[in-house]
Amino acid sequence: MSQKQILREKMAEESPRDDLIRRERFPHIWCPGCGLGTVLKCYVEAIAASNIPIDKHVIVSGIGCTGRIAGYVRLDSYHVTHGRPIAFAEGMKIVRPDLEVTVISGDGDLVTIGGNHFIHAVRRNVDINVFLVNNFIYGMTGNQMGSTTPLGAKSSTSPYGCPEFPFNLPLLTAALGAPFVARWTTLHVRQLADAMKKALRVRGFAFIEIISPCPVGFGSYNDLREGRDYIKLFLENCIIDHSADLNRVGITLRPGEPIILGNFVDREVPTYHELELEVFRKAGWLK
């Protein structure tokens, strides 16, 4: 029996989350060792645990490996232009504030190509969830370095090492005023799922950076060629510190310098939608 036939037989078995996954689209396209299946699992578990009706959930993604998650979730799903999912999600949430809008896409999509949209959505505190999967590279589009590639890391466009400092995403997002900021890896499954559940309850911009393996892309250039290499990396180097100084949580991947995880920010901040209504009332457009 071929591997594909074995997979299809396994798929025929019922899953407790069949109502939230488009099983007809499986087997998925992700590479061995990739963490995106875990991200998908955590997201549907968060939806199932929420008190929000399924027909009020919306998922938006851009181009790339992570962008495929939207196509595997049995929700209203939008797969939009590279770098533009946050802008799309903002417009949807402003027009339909009753919807629970979640963006799940990659680091290249959201903060390299889409960085301008990202910073303005955070400072406005638009009530959307952004789950950014960081694999340190443009995975699907050619393994180029991006704005999260660690200094010195190799890629197709930095074969001798990346010469640029990467974004410290928790620091950036917190500095822009986001009410919820977290970082987890795909090894920390329970913590990641719990953070997603929390994000769905947050009023305002909820951000989770998800550090995920990419053995075929980033790993092939940086001696992390197997999924188990990433598991070893996460087990030996990750530290959970919810109260960490965000100036010190940048990721280097250098020996002895930890990857710091946690739910770093959890606060109440007026949302764009509340402030907009206040302006309308002052203008006399609303009672």
Q: Is residue 6 part of a domain?
A: no
Q: Is residue 63 part of a domain?
A: yes
Q: Determine the Cα–Cα distance for residues 108 and 180; give it in Å rounded to an integer.
A: 21
Q: Determine the Cα–Cα distance for residues 108 and 124; give it in Å rounded to an integer.
A: 22
What range defines the domain where residue 187 resides?
32-282
Task: Check residue 4 and give its pLDDT.
Answer: 63
Number of domains, the chain: 1
Q: Is residue 27 part of a domain?
A: no
Task: Check residue 14 and give its pLDDT.
Answer: 64
Between the CA of residue 108 and those of 99, 115, 212, what are the distances in Å?
Answer: 26, 9, 13
- Give me the average pLDDT of each 10-residue run along the chain (287 residues): 66 70 89 96 96 96 94 95 96 96 97 96 98 94 94 96 97 98 98 98 98 96 95 96 98 94 97 92 84
Q: Is residue 149 part of a domain?
A: yes
Q: Is residue 19 part of a domain?
A: no
Q: Is residue 23 part of a domain?
A: no
Query: Which residue stretches of 50-129 are H helix?
Result: 69-72, 85-95, 107, 115-124
CATH number at 59 reads 3.40.50.970
Residue 246 phi/psi, 5° resolution? -65, -15
Q: What is the dihedral of CA 189, 190, 196, 202, to 10 degrees?
A: -150
Task: Check residue 139 and give its pLDDT.
Answer: 87
Task: Check residue 286 and give its pLDDT.
Answer: 80
Q: Determine the Cα–Cα distance for residues 59 and 105; give it in Å rounded to an integer.
A: 10
Q: Is residue 65 part of a domain?
A: yes
Task: Check residue 10 and give its pLDDT.
Answer: 63
The radius of gyration of the chain from alpha carbons, rounded to an integer in Å, stands at 19
pTM score of the predicted model = 0.94
DSSP 163: -
Q: Is residue 16 part of a domain?
A: no
